[in-house]
A and B are shown apart, each in its own frame.
Chain A
Amino acid sequence: MKIHLPNSAFLGNIDPFFNSIDIDDSSSLEITFNEKWVSVHPIVLCMISALWFSTKNKSNLKIQTLETKSKNYFERIGLFKILGYDSCINIVEHDPSGRFIPITIVKNSDELNNFIKDMIPLLHQEPEQVNPIKYVISELVRNVFEHSKSNSGAIISAQYYKKSNTIRIGVVDNGIGIKEAISKSYYIESDIDAIKMALTPGITGTTTNIGGTEFNAGAGLFFIKSIAKVNRDFFVMYSGDAMYKLLRTPAKNKKIILYSDPFNDKCSKKENLPYWQGTAVGIDICLDRHQAFDQLLDLIKKSYRKNRNEQKKKRFKKPRFI
């Protein structure tokens, strides 16, 4: 497998990066970098880690020698540590508070509890701002536990960007992917259709019952997409050969509408991408545009009810008059 880190890969411009991943030969992993500068979203770093876990021959790791300052960043965020790669970089470890959450593997509930507790002081934010971040991470990681069947658990990283006052979060797994998870209960033809189903409220891979089971309501991803939409941020989901990207809602659109069909949102969809075995999710939360979590819940409440009813109506049987 080969992965090249360009000088910039954030959710807004991440498509070329996804397209460039060479996943064909899992016996080795080769990582190259833009020679001048590399600045990437945490989802990218989590994806590299996931590829490493899928690499069959761990002695076949080839990393281009980095001469730029970016190598210090990769060292501190824990990329080289995950890869078991001795970067020969000796840097003074700064306190990461307020800047980033290093790449972390979370495999069970206890580890998730600890991760969330440890994460909060690192973010140095007010409780009102931390709530949606905790919420997003908890729901995404629990999805990995419950649906992905990943042996490696969930791979998480986050970074605070002072200039844009934004927290960018990546949660990645190399499990069965959304299509296989949803296919347990629904007939799905493509990865993009599976992503659409996963983002639709009331749909879960654990049952055909709209509204889910005692353990899954099929609402978690809808909530997360809604958090991004209400805050006018990016949300990206990549699984199999497909990617869904919620685009920023322009500020001129004063009224935010939460749709049950994610394709009705301002979004971009891609198919025929290199096949990602598992699921990669990225989300940005801009703290400037941060809407009070309570207000967001009001909006979700209104639209969730409407959307679930729409889903149910779609499945109503029509009387056959013969």
Chain B
Amino acid sequence: MKEIEIFPKTGNFAENKDVARELRITEIIPALEKHQVVILDFSEVDSATQSFIHALISDIIRKEGYEIIDRLNFKNCNDTIKKIITIVTDYMQEEEPTV
């Protein structure tokens, strides 16, 4: 299991897509490749943009298929962040597979 705290990277407003991409490439994907469950901990994060969440997880879902969502857990999310994550996971599951 790999637990990643978002707040130290983003502060209380998660909007920096460059940070999201960096987290995805350097922490989330390597953990998933080791077949670990990844926990993204949003404690102390008050809000996030759809663009941030998209940059954080969309490419993983697009490439690995939506089954990967079972291995991505979101912890300590407030209602706003839960809704934004749900928007992104929903629309990614409606995409045509690229492979």
Q: How far is the CA of A90 from the CA of B90 in the complex (A)?
A: 56
Chain B neighbourhood of A109, CB < 8 A: 16, 18-19
The interface-forming segment of A22-30, A93-101, A251-259, A291-299 is: A291-299
Say whether A305 contacts B91, CB under 8 Å. Answer: yes
Q: How far is the CA of A134 from the CA of B48 in the complex (A)?
A: 10
Q: How far is the CA of A107 from the CA of B59 in the complex (A)?
A: 26
How far does the Cβ of A320 sit from chain B's closest Cβ, in whole Å?
Answer: 21
What DSSP secondary structure best describes chain A's contact surface? helix
Say whether B58 contacts A214, CB under 8 Å. Answer: yes
Chain B residue at smallest Cβ distance from A117: B11
Chain B contacts with A in 43-82, Cβ cutoff 8 A: 46-47, 49-51, 54-55, 58-59, 62, 79-80
Cross-interface CB contact of B51 among A131, A142, A211, A305, cutoff 8 Å = A142
Asked whether A71 is an interface residue with its Cβ less than 8 Å from the other chain, the reply is: no
Asked, given contacts A109-B18, A215-B21, whether A300 binds B87 with beta carbons under 8 Å apart, the answer is yes
How far does the Cβ of A93 sit from chain B's closest Cβ, in whole Å?
Answer: 28
Chain A contacts with B in 204-222, Cβ cutoff 8 A: 211-212, 214-217, 219-220
Asked whether A268 is an interface residue with its Cβ less than 8 Å from the other chain, the reply is: no
How far does the Cβ of A159 sit from chain B's closest Cβ, in whole Å?
Answer: 21
Say whether A294 contacts B54, CB under 8 Å. Answer: no
Asked, given contacts A223-B50, A301-B90, whether A215 binds B17 with beta carbons under 8 Å apart, the answer is yes
Q: How far is the CA of A216 from the CA of B51 in the complex (A)?
A: 7
Say whether B83 contacts A215, CB under 8 Å. Answer: no
Say whether B15 contacts A116, CB under 8 Å. Answer: yes
Say whether A214 contacts B87, CB under 8 Å. Answer: no
How far does the Cβ of A294 sit from chain B's closest Cβ, in whole Å?
Answer: 5
Asked whether B95 is an interface residue with its Cβ less than 8 Å from the other chain, the reply is: yes
Asked whether A308 is an interface residue with its Cβ less than 8 Å from the other chain, the reply is: yes
Asked whether A138 is an interface residue with its Cβ less than 8 Å from the other chain, the reply is: yes
Q: How far is the CA of A127 from the CA of B44 in the complex (A)?
A: 13
Asked whether A15 is an interface residue with its Cβ less than 8 Å from the other chain, the reply is: no
Say whether A142 contacts B83, CB under 8 Å. Answer: no
Chain B neighbourhood of A293, CB < 8 A: 47, 80
Asked whether B84 is an interface residue with its Cβ less than 8 Å from the other chain, the reply is: yes
Say whether A116 contacts B55, CB under 8 Å. Answer: no
How far does the Cβ of B83 sit from chain A's closest Cβ, in whole Å?
Answer: 4
Chain B contacts with A in 7-21, Cβ cutoff 8 A: 11, 13, 15-19, 21
Say whether A113 contacts B11, CB under 8 Å. Answer: yes
Interface flags, B6-46, vs A, CB<8A=1, else 0: 00000101011111010000000000000000000000001
Asked, given contacts A308-B94, A309-B94, whether A214 binds B86 with beta carbons under 8 Å apart, the answer is no
Say whether B54 contacts A219, CB under 8 Å. Answer: yes
Chain A neighbourhood of B88, CB < 8 A: 217
Q: How far is the CA of A304 from the CA of B90 in the complex (A)?
A: 10
Asked whether A187 is an interface residue with its Cβ less than 8 Å from the other chain, the reply is: no
Chain A residue at smallest Cβ distance from B21: A215
Cross-interface CB contact of B49 among A113, A127, A135, A308, cutoff 8 Å = A135
How far does the Cβ of A200 sit from chain B's closest Cβ, in whole Å?
Answer: 14
Q: How far is the CA of A217 from the CA of B86 in the complex (A)?
A: 14
Chain B neighbourhood of A216, CB < 8 A: 51, 54
Cross-interface CB contact of A138 among B49, B91, B92, cutoff 8 Å = B49
Asked whether A193 is an interface residue with its Cβ less than 8 Å from the other chain, the reply is: no
Asked, given contacts A139-B51, A215-B21, whether A113 binds B16 with beta carbons under 8 Å apart, the answer is yes
Q: Can you give 17 A-B contacts (C-beta < 8 A)?
A: A109-B19, A112-B16, A113-B11, A113-B15, A131-B80, A135-B15, A138-B13, A139-B51, A211-B95, A212-B54, A214-B55, A217-B51, A217-B58, A219-B54, A297-B84, A300-B87, A305-B90
Pairs A-B, 4 closest by C-beta atoms = A214-B59, A297-B83, A138-B15, A217-B54
Known: A142-B51, A305-B90. 20 other contacts (CB 8 A): A109-B19, A112-B15, A112-B16, A117-B11, A131-B80, A134-B15, A142-B15, A211-B92, A211-B95, A214-B21, A215-B21, A217-B51, A217-B54, A217-B88, A217-B91, A219-B51, A220-B50, A297-B83, A308-B94, A309-B94
